[in-house]
Amino acid sequence: MYAIVEIAGKQYKVEKDMTIAVDKLKGEEGDVTLDKVLMCVDGEKVLIGQPYLDNVSVSASVLEIFKDKKVRGIKFKKRKNYTRTLGHRQQQTKLKINDVAVK
């Protein structure tokens, strides 16, 4: 059984006991419920929401909040002796999916 959920504007395929890294969520470490379920598949049974499913919920635990690897960028102008290097580390939240439940 798996589900497609929307978290912070992005879609993720989740299954029970799976660990995923998503953009930083508000709040502290603990349990969260993901209500924006777009699709749920249980063997041959497929449920598709328009846009979300009301009777399906995904429970997850926040394991940690961490910084992702550094992404580098560069600016330069030709023939002007100008270069500038930029760097950014995005904050991420690691989630462990506890259960995908159909009510």
Work out the burial of residue 3: count CB atoms within 10 Å of its CB; fewer than 13 is exposed, 13-18 middle, 19 or more buried. buried
For residue 28, is pLDDT > 80? Answer: no
For the chain, give the mean pLDDT. Answer: 95
pTM: 0.85
Q: How many helices (H) and strands (E) does the chain have?
A: 0, 10
Contact predicate 22/60, CB 8 Å:
no
**Overall average pLDDT of the 19-32 stretch:** 91
Looking at residue 93, its pLDDT comes to 96
52-93 per-position pLDDT tens digit = 999 999 999 999 999 999 999 999 999 999 999 999 999 999
pLDDT of 27: 79
Write the DSSP symbol of residue 25: P
